[in-house]
Structure 1
Amino acid sequence: MPPISKQPESKSLQIAVKSKPTLLLILPGNEGRKPVLEALVEFANIVVVLFVGGRDAEWVKPFVQGCIEVPQGSDNGVFNTSYEIVSNWFVNDESLPDGIMCYDEYGVELSSYLCEKFCLPGTPFGTMRMFRNKLAFRNACSEAGLCSIRYKHIKSEADINDVLQDKDWPFPSVLKPRKGAGSWHVHKIENRSDLLKIYHSLDENLRAGYFPVNIKDAGFLLEEYFEGAEVDIDGWATNGKVTFQLVSDNYPATEPYFLEQGGNYPSQLPLEAVNAFKDLTEKVLKLFSGVHSCFHFEAKMNLETMKLLPIEFNCRVGGAECPLSVEAVTGYYLPVVAARLALALPPPLPKRVAHKVVCSTNFYPDKAGVLTKNCHEVDAKKSKLVSLTLFQNRIGSNVQANNGSVSCLGWASSGGDSFEEASSNLEMVKKHIHVVVQPEDECKTE
Structure 2
Amino acid sequence: MLSLNIKKAKDAAKEAGGITSAMKGVTLERRNTFQFDEVDDAAPDTPMGYSKAGNPLVDYATTVKSTRDPVEFAPKSIEDAVFSSSLGPGTFSYTPTVAPSPGSLKSNFLTEEVLQALPRPLSPAERERNIRESKQTPTFELVRKVNKYKKQINSATTEGQELRRQLLSGAVVIVMCAGYSGKRFIYERAKKLGVRLVMVDGPDSWSQTLLDDGVIEKYVPLDMSNPPAVYQEALKIVREVDKEVGGIDGICTFYEIAVPLVARLTEALGLPGNPSKAIECARDKHATRKCLKDNDLPTPSSCMIYSKEDLPMAAQTVGFPAVIKPINGAASLGVVKVTSPENLLESYEKVTEVLKTCSVSDPNGTAKSGEVSDLVTEVMMEQYLDGNEVDVDIILSDGKVTYAKVTDNLPTLEPWFNETGAVTPSLLPESKQEELIEVSKKMLKALGLTCGVMHVELKYTTTNGPQLIEVNSRMGGGPVRSMNLDVWGVDLVEEHLMTTVGLPSLPPVPEKPITCIGQYSVNAVRSGVVTEEIDAEVEKTRKLPNVKSVESFVAAGDRVVGLADGMPSWICDIMVEKDNAKEALAYVEDLASGFKQPIV
- TM bin, normalised by shorter chain, reads 0.7 to 0.9
- The 1:183/1:336 distance shift into structure 2, 3 A limit, reads farther
Aligned partner of residue 149 in structure 1, secondary structure: coil
Aligned partner of residue 332 in structure 1, secondary structure: coil
Question: What residue is the counterpart of 1:359 in the other structure?
Answer: 518
Give runs of aligned pairs for residues 91-130 of structure 1, distance below 5 A.
92=243, 94=245, 97-130=248-281
Paired-residue identity, % = 24
The letter for the 2-side match of 1:358 is I
- State which of 400, 415, 427 in structure 1 corresponds to 2:577: 415
The letter for the 2-side match of 1:20 is G
- State which of 430, 452, 462 in structure 2 corresponds to 1:271: 430
- The 1:399/1:319 distance shift into structure 2, 3 A limit, reads farther
Question: What residue is the counterpart of 2:497 in the other structure?
Answer: 339
- State which of 385, 390, 398 in structure 1 corresponds to 2:552: 390
Question: What residue is the counterpart of 2:80 in the other structure?
Answer: none
Alignment pair present for 1:22 and 2:172:
yes
Question: What residue is the counterpart of 1:37 in the other structure?
Answer: 187
Pairwise CA distance, 1:406: 10
Question: What residue is the counterpart of 2:5 in the other structure?
Answer: 10
The letter for the 2-side match of 1:327 is L
Pairwise CA distance, 1:357: 1.9
Pairwise CA distance, 1:310: 1.4
Contact 1:377 1:433 in 2 (8 A): no
Q: Distance in 2 between matches of 1:190 and 1:52?
A: 49
- The 1:24/1:134 distance shift into structure 2, 3 A limit, reads same
Alignment pair present for 1:178 and 2:336:
no
What's the CA shift string for 1:106-164, capped at 9, x where partnerless? Answer: 22222222222332212211111111111111111122222253211234444335325
Aligned partner of residue 402 in structure 2, secondary structure: strand
Alignment pair present for 1:137 and 2:132:
no
Q: Distance in 1 between matches of 2:254 and 2:566?
A: 18
The letter for the 1-side match of 2:294 is E
Pairwise CA distance, 1:418: 0.8
Gaps of 5+ in 2: 8-33, 39-137, 139-168, 362-372
Give runs of aligned pairs for residues 76-225 of structure 1, distance below 5 A.
77=228, 80-84=231-235, 86-87=237-238, 90=241, 92=243, 94=245, 97-147=248-298, 149-163=300-314, 166=316, 169-203=318-352, 206=355, 209=359, 216=376, 219-225=378-384
- State which of 397, 400, 413 in structure 2 corresponds to 1:238: 397
The letter for the 1-side match of 2:380 is L
Pairwise CA distance, 1:236: 0.8
Q: Distance in 2 between matches of 1:209 and 1:391?
A: 17
Alignment pair present for 1:377 and 2:524:
no
Contact 2:360 2:375 in 1 (8 A): no
- The 1:249/1:347 distance shift into structure 2, 3 A limit, reads same
Aligned partner of residue 267 in structure 1, secondary structure: coil
Q: Distance in 2 between matches of 1:245 and 1:435?
A: 37
Q: How does the TM-score come out when normalised to structure 2?
A: 0.61
Question: What residue is the counterpart of 1:3 in the other structure?
Answer: none
Stretch deviating more after TM superposition (146-155 or 320-329): 146-155
Alignment pair present for 1:66 and 2:219:
yes
Q: Distance in 2 between matches of 1:113 and 1:188?
A: 38
Stretch deviating more after TM superposition (179-188 or 321-330): 179-188
* RMSD over aligned Cα atoms: 3.8
Q: Distance in 2 between matches of 1:386 and 1:81?
A: 45
- The 1:227/1:112 distance shift into structure 2, 3 A limit, reads same
Question: What residue is the counterpart of 2:370 in the other structure?
Answer: none
Aligned partner of residue 222 in structure 2, secondary structure: strand
Contact 2:425 2:513 in 1 (8 A): no
Aligned partner of residue 477 in structure 2, secondary structure: coil
- State which of 419, 439, 442 in structure 2 corresponds to 1:260: 419
Gaps of 5+ in 1: 1-5, 439-446
Q: How does the TM-score come out when normalised to structure 1?
A: 0.80
The letter for the 1-side match of 2:337 is K
The letter for the 2-side match of 1:128 is I
Aligned partner of residue 90 in structure 1, secondary structure: helix
Contact 1:383 1:429 in 2 (8 A): no
Pairwise CA distance, 1:246: 0.1
- State which of 303, 321, 328 in structure 1 corresponds to 2:486: 328
Contact 1:171 1:189 in 2 (8 A): yes
Aligned partner of residue 584 in structure 2, secondary structure: helix
Q: Distance in 1 between matches of 2:568 and 2:274?
A: 28
Higher gyration radius (CA): 2
Aligned partner of residue 256 in structure 2, secondary structure: coil
Contact 2:397 2:505 in 1 (8 A): no
Q: Distance in 2 between matches of 1:320 and 1:72?
A: 29
Contact 2:199 2:219 in 1 (8 A): yes
Aligned partner of residue 136 in structure 1, secondary structure: helix
